[in-house]
Each structure stands twice: as C-alpha cells, then as structure tokens.
Amino acid sequence: MNISASFILYLATFIMGGCGLAYEYTLSRVAADLLGNSARQWALVIGAMMFCMGIGADLQKRVKDHLLLDKFIGAEILLGVLGGCGPLALFFTYGMAPSYYIIVQYAFISSIGLLLGFELPLIARLNSAYISQLEVNLGKVLKMDYVGALAGALIWVFLLPLFFTLIETAFVLGLLNLAAATTLLLYFRAKVTLSKRLWAALLAALLLLTCGLFQARSWTSTAEQYLYRNRIILSQTTRFQHIVMTKSKAAEISCYINGSLQFNSADEYIYHENLVHPAFALAPHQRRVLILGGGDGLAAREVLKYPAVKELILCDLDPEMTGLARNHPTLIELNQGSLSDARITLLKNNSLSSQNKKEAILIPNQNQRFDSQPEEVARVTLVHIDAATLLEKLAGKFDIIIVDFPDPNNEELAKLYSRTFYRRLADRLAIDGIFVQQATSPYHAKEAFLCIGRSMTAAGLSVIPYHDNVPSFGEWGWWIGGHQERWAAEELPKSLKETLKQTTKLEVPTRYLTPELIHASLNFGKNQLDSEENEINTLVNHKIFTYYLKGWQTGY
C-alpha cells in the first residue's frame, strides 16, 4: 500500500515536472513569436517563472495539513486550466488589447510559476506519510521532478510538434495535468474530503480543455486575424518559424515570418531587382550562382532570367518555406515557378558531399515543356541546412553569391552577419566573383547597416553600399562587393563604384530597375553614413543585434 501510494505521487510529480518545463517553453515561444527578440523573451519568461516557483514554494508553508490532498488536487486542476488556455489568451490579448499584453502575459507566467512551486513541496509533505526519512523523501520527489522536466523537454521539442500546433500543445499539456489529478482522485478517493467539488471542477476543466484542443486551430485563426489588417489566407507553424500570408482587398499579398513582413506583392520586385541585377551587372561571369535565404523563390525568379546561369543552388533552412514556394498557387504566381519546374533537384538529406540517386529527388512538373535542349537550362538545387554549415560543405567557387537573410533581429540571425560567416562566404566566392547582401535600413538602423559593411571588410572583402526606397519597408540598403585581391587595395570602394556606374544596359527585362537607378542608388545624403562606431560583428559579441534593436526602437 505504501509503495503504491508513493508511486502515484511520484507519477504526479513526473507529470508536473514535464508539464511545468513544457509550459515555460510554450509561453516563451509565444512571447518570442509576438514580441520578437527570441533569446531575450525566453530568458525573461523562464527567469520570471523560476522566481515565481520560489515564491510558491515559500508560500506553501502557510498551508495547513488539513485537506492537504484536496488542496494539491485543486492546484493541479487549476494549473491545467491556466497552462492550457494561457497561450491562446495571450494571442487574443495581443490582437485585441496590445497595451495590456505584458500585464496578461506575466499574470499567466506568475500564476503558473506559483502553482508549480506550490505543488512540489506539497507532494513531499504528502509523501512523508509513506516515507518518513526526510532525505529519502526529498531525494525521490526532486528526482522525479527533474526526470519529468527532461522528458517534458524532449517531448516538447521532438514529439508534440509532429502532431500539434503550439496552441494545441498547450491544451494537450493541460489535459496531462488533468490526467494526473484524475489519477489522484481515483487512487486516494477514500482520503479526499471535497471529492464532489473536485470532480465537478475536474469535469468542467476537462470539457474546457477538450473543446479547446479540437477548436484550437479555428480559435487561433480568429485570434491571429486581429494581428493583421488584411485577411489571412495562410497560417503555418514550422519547426523553425511561423509563416503567415495575407491578402488585401486590392489583392496584394503580404508574407510575414514571425510577425515581420518579408514582402508585399505590390512592390517586392523593387527589392528583388535591386538585390539581384546590380550583382549580375558587375559580375564578369554568371554561370554558377548561390542564393542564401530566399526560400520564397522571388530572388531565384530574377536570377533565372539570365541565360548564362547554368547552376543555381538555393539554401533555405526551412523546407516548408520552399515547399510553399513550389506548391502554393499564390507564391507560384509571384515567383513564376522558379522553384517548381523540372530543373529542380531537392537534396533530401541536407548533404552536398555526394549527390547520388538515393539522396537527390527530381521534382517533375508535367506542364513544363522546354523548347531548348536540357543542358541549356539552368540546374537548380534546393538545400535545407544552416547557411554557415552549407558554406563549409559546398565544393567549388561561385560567380555570384546572393545573401537574402531576414534582418538580424535575434542572436541566431546575428551570427549570419558575422566576420566568421563572411570569411566562409569569401572562401566560396570566385576570385573575380561578386556577392550582394540585403542589409536592413540605412536610415532606421544606420549603425547596424554600417556594422555589416565593417564586418565584411574585416573578412577580406571589398564592399560598397547602395540603397533605394521600397514602399513596404521604407528606405532600404544593400552591400555589394568582391575579393580585395580583385579590386585595387588603395581604391577598393571607388573601383567597385566606378565599375558599377559604367553599366549602361541591363541584360534582362525588369519592371523597375534601370542603369540610371543603379547609379543613383550608390549616392547617399550628406553625413548619412557618418558614424563614430567602429566595432564589427562577431560570433561572440552579437554587436549587430544591439545596433539593430537600438535603431528600430529609437530611429535615427
């Protein structure tokens, strides 16, 4: 009897530990998706919850032994409800009353943290009736809590995302807490005093969370729609990001990743033509091209206009993003099928070390017909791997490298703007090759923009900036350049700039860009690029992230 009772309490501890850590992760992910700056949000949410757990552990000393089991089961039911409903409540709050979001967020964090901290000592007190030795009791209870936390982390990372969205995951976790409460009520039914009230509360909570689980996607869509001005036509959470596409009454398509605008169909061609065509105008050779990022296929659309391109490798971390670019009708229309025809080879195992038949999958398009010979059509390869890792694995050199990453708005992205990354890029760039990088706004985030240029120069590259106005983004900037060995050391920027200004005709048709606009984009306003800063971005200091946050929060 004693062993069985302790086992049930240990099982409840295991579930509580697993769900507790998973709640921390879920609330952190919600905060990161809504507020950005993921590392900071995860640190703040988990730190605040751990603090509240300490407060809860201290508060339990005021709870008398009378009805102790009833109080613990009641706390477990309440924890399930708060943990299950919290993320969806945060989405609705952010969309409908954003000024109150932080208050609501930390109200849930504090409440869940208090309950978690409150429950663990209660379990030890309950278990003391079966194991009298304090050191043995505490050791086993804490062990089950920590083992449960590890299990919760593994399940949250590897298992739950395979079957559930983030909001559904929260409801599943809540139901697990209710399962623990049900087990306790059934096993200790002879010792529970308020059994009718607890069963009523449990059944009400079970109905609420079950309904929430089945309606989660519908409710999430309703909540998410408050976040966007235009109608949502796609909302998809992948292993790496949350993708949303909206459509306005004027049929303009906007794509957002983690809440940040990636493009608007009304003016995306201004951005992508600026990203691609100056590099092609400057590069002496165009046979082999690498695109880092650009999973929407819009940069690839511009690249594939050039008949001289024989091989294009596009690397995007998220296979579901390129999957949308290949299969979603709206994106296919925008990217003109750049990633969805018979030229495409998809590397299935993220490896470029050997491209045999088992590793590569051809993606045929029955409607695709070529008037030219197959060898005259560019071969396109999609790779889903971290860009920094790709640069180490790739063989050979590229005539043109196009870097189309999201802005460095978190530490993970900041590493892709580091001196180390640019050194790897330089290793893959042909001696007379050209690379170009989108580089955020030189107006709103001037210091971040300039830091990118300094980091490139520190990596042995010769670069010059250029800019244009993209209505959806405002003033936007890019850096373009090549090896310092190719351009005279004493006149690096001048040589690049003068060479680019010699462009008199673009080789392919464009909707917006002209040679004259390229020439104008090389000129900046008086003092616009002046700065007293001189630091570069490294893998350690994440300086560009600091500059970026300061720029977009305060402006220049």
Per-residue pLDDT tens for 414-426? 999 999 999 999 9
Would you call 11 exposed, middle or buried from its count of C-beta atoms within 10 A (0-12, 13-18, 19+)? middle
The Cα–Cα gap between 16 and 8 comes to 12
The Cα–Cα gap between 116 and 505 comes to 67
Domain 265-554 has CATH 1.10.10.10: no
State pTM to two decimals: 0.82
**pLDDT given at position 473:** 94
Concerning whether 296 is annotated as a catalytic residue, the answer is no
**pLDDT given at position 326:** 94
Phi-psi region of 474 (alpha: psi -120 to 50; beta: other; left: phi over 0): left
**pLDDT given at position 504:** 82
Are 86 and 112 in contact by the 8 Å Cβ rule? The answer is yes
Mean pLDDT by 10 residues, the chain (556 residues): 76 94 94 80 93 94 89 95 96 92 96 94 90 88 94 94 93 96 93 94 97 94 90 89 93 92 96 96 94 96 95 94 94 93 62 41 34 60 92 90 92 91 95 95 94 94 95 96 75 74 89 94 92 91 90 64
The CB density around residue 350, as the number of other CB atoms within 10 Å, is: 16
**pLDDT given at position 412:** 84
Quick check: helix, strand or coil at residue 410? Answer: coil
**pLDDT given at position 336:** 93
In the chain, where are the structural domains located? 2-225, 231-261, 265-554
**pLDDT given at position 470:** 96
**pLDDT given at position 376:** 60
**pLDDT given at position 238:** 85
Phi, psi (5° rounding) for residue 381? -125, 130
The Cα–Cα gap between 116 and 109 comes to 11
CATH number of the structural domain 2-225: 1.20.1250.20
Quickly list DSSP for 208-261.
Answer: HHHHHHHHHHHHHHHHHHTT-SSEEEEEEE-SS-EEEEEE-TT--EEEEETTEE
**pLDDT given at position 362:** 34
Half-sphere exposure of 241 (CA within 13 A, CB side): 22
**pLDDT given at position 442:** 95
**pLDDT given at position 340:** 82
**pLDDT given at position 538:** 93
Phi, psi (5° rounding) for residue 257? -120, 120
Q: 158: which residues sit within 8 A by CB, 6+ positions away?
A: none
The yes-or-no answer to whether 2-225 and 265-554 have a common fold is no
Q: Which of the residues 316, 341, 399, 404 is marked catalytic?
A: 404
